[in-house]
Amino acid sequence: MKVYNSDKIRNIALLGHGGSGKTMLAEAMIHATGATNRLGRVEDGTTVADWDEEEIKRSQSINTSLIPCEWKGNKINVLDTPGYPDFVGEVIGALRVVEAAIVVIDAVSGVEVGTELAWQQLERTQRPRFIFINKMDRDNASFERALNSVREAFDGNFVPLLLPIGGESSFQGVASVIDGKAYLGNEAKPSDLPDDIVDAWEEANLMLVEAAAESDDDLLMKYLDGETLSAAEIADGLKTAILQGSVVPVFCGAATREIGVRTLMDMILNLVPSPAESGPYPAIVDGEEAEIEGVADGPVAALVFKTIADPFVGRISLFRVYSGTIQSDARLYNVTKRSDERMGGTFTMRGKEHDPVAAVVAGDIGAAAKLNVTITGDTLVEKGTNIILPAPQFPNPLYAVAISPATQADSAKIGGALNRLAEEDPTLKWYNEPSIRQMILSGMGDVHMTIAVNRLQNKFGVNVNTTVPKVPYRETVSRTASASYRHKKQTGGAGQFGEVHLRVEPGEEGTGLTYTWEVFGGAISQSFRPSIEKGIRQVMANGVIAGYPVVDVLVAVYDGKEHPVDSKDIAFQIAGREAFKKAFMDAGPVFLEPIYKVEVTVPENYMGDILGDLNTRRARVQGMDTVRGKSIITAEVPYAELLRYANDLRSMTQGRGIYSIELLRYETVPKHLAQGIIDDAKREKEE
């Protein structure tokens, strides 16, 4: 593929509900350029974008795919994102590196759950956006109904730039509101508008002119004075309004029949800002907030926004160059990891195909294979340059499963495979939780977890078993108690003797163990002080009442006895351990449970149901707010009540509810629940 200058590049993301036709739109765009011989289909797994085995099996996108389209001397980098909410990380990564997004909407269904979630991400990033009403050739398709659903759901001035010609099975083309021409079939040549849409065109054209005029004071005065705005003035005003976010253009078409696609691509070139028009870009330069110019001859600065773990090629890093030009085989520096990197050959990806490029200029998106340490969110620069680009901000995982290797062979491979999975998807996290002796894999939902487990098997040959994770409780004390223990053992030879008197008190939160020595007069030698502590720490690691770690205790050793011959390290370890257990049981032992801050966002009509459900989960509601028809509830909820909340919230709100979680602290478990935790621990031990 040839190298394009920054002003000839456009970067866009396709967003929307699953099944709205994003992948088919990308497929139609790449086919229109002549890069593919035939139009693929999602159903039979032949599209360029959906190449992953899981995507083909499920007939849905689960990864962001890069589809570069060379069109009329320009390059449009299309990022086709998944519509299912479990894969929101893919959407976040894509939006970080594009200048604009196209929200694809089904002409029959209108705004759906995935549309709302995509719009929320656009609101966070403040990206210019466009609407493409797809599937205009389907039965019951309605441009007006779909557009009305957009206007009801979202704030904004939605201005149609393409109008449908015909509808449902008789849908045959689109009419451009900008130039007043009809584009039928493959849109090779424009023709005059059909008589039956002239009135609709005039109404839309008036809306367009008004929107363009309102973007600029001089244009507005000219328009109000009754003067006619030129085509160039309308185009400039419209582009300004789009960048300001005051206008959202609306297109239409049928991707599977390639109607409206070429006209859409022409409008992308005219209305989406190029990288050359979009700078400067925020960055951290030499440790301070700054901006960098997005120019090809500037210092190199590139952000890795996606990592693909390929079992054959190795790690593939997709990056957007924000400044400078990266040559093939360049030697760069990962400023995030403080490590040198050699790019090897640079290429662009078209689905799974690799297309070599000699260089990747500022504003373009490229890829490199087998970088040593670079992962998603890292910045690559020339050595000696200290520029860090803001990384995409991914949400905390919401849903977890406990995993265990199915066989001994899987056990040897599981760590490396999980690391590669987590590199590929930053919303996936895994860790060993010693307090519950489980390996935890967490992500955004049950489908996310299912696909992650399938990938472990299919990509890396690792089979695992999954269960619901246990809650990582902690044990501590609520009052002060003292105890003593004498360890005495005689076995014919040298014996063992140690006696320890100690006191247990509640400690400061987050301190673990505070160990103090109050022995005076030499009752126990200082040399046995660490032995006693070692015994105490052994108990703390394994728990006293239900096997959970002990935290936040102060232990004071204040007396004891030793024997001049039989006292030794092991004797005082055992005496310290047993004395601690006795004192702990007398000091009002309690469980601590993790408490999370939860922020739930739902449509207003679900507010009562959500509040009622939170009350059953022992939640403490901290606040409620309403923003643009959405209710936002902030609450503190025990983690034990959140293990499957992702599924429950989705069911209660028909998929329209979203939430985020953040660990706050540990709190005492209510007494009426503590016995159940002890009983579960006993049952598990017996099994």
52 and 126 part of one domain: yes
pLDDT digits (tens, 9 = 90+) for 329-359: 899 999 999 999 998 889 999 988 899 999 9
Q: Can you give the pLDDT at residue 32?
A: 92
Q: Can you give the pLDDT at residue 548?
A: 93
pLDDT digits (tens, 9 = 90+) for 231-248: 888 888 888 899 888 999
Single out the residue in 565, 587, 609 at which a domain terminates. Answer: 587
Q: Is the pLDDT of residue 494 over 80?
A: no
Q: What is the mean pLDDT of residues 248-265?
A: 94
The enclosing domain of 184 has a CATH number of: 3.40.50.300
Q: Can you give the pLDDT at residue 492?
A: 65
What Cα–Cα distance (Å) separates residue 475 from each residue in 143, 163, 512, 643, 668?
61, 66, 11, 20, 9
Taking the CB of residue 352, how many other CB atoms lie within 10 A of it?
15
What is the sign of the dihedral through the CA atoms of 606, 664, 619 and 547?
Answer: positive
* 405: in domain: yes
Q: Is the pLDDT of residue 507 over 90?
A: yes
What Cα–Cα distance (Å) separates residue 601 from each residue in 490, 605, 627, 658?
67, 12, 10, 5
Q: What is the mean pLDDT of residues 155-179?
A: 92
Q: What is the mean pLDDT of residues 594-610?
A: 92
pLDDT band at residue 76 using 50, 70 and 90 as cut-offs: very high
* 393: in domain: no
537 and 632 part of one domain: no
**Higher confidence at residue 536 or residue 189?**
536
CA atoms within 13 A on the CB side of 123: 11
150 and 135 part of one domain: yes
**Counted domains in the chain:** 5
Single out the residue in 424, 442, 470 at which a domain terminates. Answer: 470
* 568: in domain: yes
* 349: in domain: yes
* 65: in domain: yes
Residue 190, preceding peptide bond in cis (omega within 30° of 0):
no
- Nearest partner of 254 among 93, 113, 146, judged by Cα: 146
pLDDT digits (tens, 9 = 90+) for 471-480: 999 999 999 9
> How far apart are the C-alpha atoms of 252 and 255, rounded to whole Å?
9
- Both tokens of 474, joined, read 């902690």
The enclosing domain of 629 has a CATH number of: 3.30.70.240
26 and 166 part of one domain: yes
618 and 501 part of one domain: no
pLDDT band at residue 584 using 50, 70 and 90 as cut-offs: very high
* 509: in domain: yes
What is the sign of the dihedral through the CA atoms of 462, 463, 466 and 470?
Answer: negative
For residue 165, which amino acid is it?
I
342 and 448 part of one domain: no
72 and 167 part of one domain: yes
Q: In the chain, helix, strand, coil percent, each to 5?
A: 35, 35, 35
Q: Can you give the pLDDT at residue 627?
A: 78
CA atoms within 13 A on the CB side of 580: 29
The enclosing domain of 428 has a CATH number of: 3.30.70.870
Determine contact, residues 162/138, Cβ cutoff 8 Å: no
> How far apart are the C-alpha atoms of 553 and 477, rounded to whole Å?
7
Q: Is the pLDDT of residue 374 over 70?
A: yes
**Strand-pair category, 162-165 with 359-361:** unpaired
Q: Is the pLDDT of residue 671 over 70?
A: yes
272 and 404 part of one domain: no
Q: What is the mean pLDDT of residues 38-52?
A: 87
**Higher confidence at residue 122 or residue 314?**
122
* 233: in domain: no
Q: Is the pLDDT of residue 167 over 80?
A: yes
Radius of gyration of the chain (CA): 32
Range of the domain at 443: 399-470
10 and 53 part of one domain: yes
Q: Can you give the pLDDT at residue 26?
A: 95
pLDDT digits (tens, 9 = 90+) for 1-21: 889 999 999 999 999 999 999
Q: What is the mean pLDDT of residues 91-98?
A: 95
Q: Can you give the pLDDT at residue 389?
A: 96
Q: How many residues does the chain have?
A: 687
> How far apart are the C-alpha atoms of 13 and 26, rounded to whole Å?
10
What Cα–Cα distance (Å) separates residue 388 from each residue in 90, 344, 351?
21, 22, 28
**Higher confidence at residue 218 or residue 160?**
160
Single out the residue in 536, 552, 587 at which a domain terminates. Answer: 587
Taking the CB of residue 469, how many other CB atoms lie within 10 A of it?
19
567 and 615 part of one domain: no
Query: The whole model's pTM is what?
Result: 0.86
- Torsions phi, psi for 435 (to 5 deg): -65, -25
Q: What is the mean pLDDT of residues 564-586?
A: 92
438 and 549 part of one domain: no
* 136: in domain: yes
- Nearest partner of 32 among 170, 168, 169, 185, judged by Cα: 185
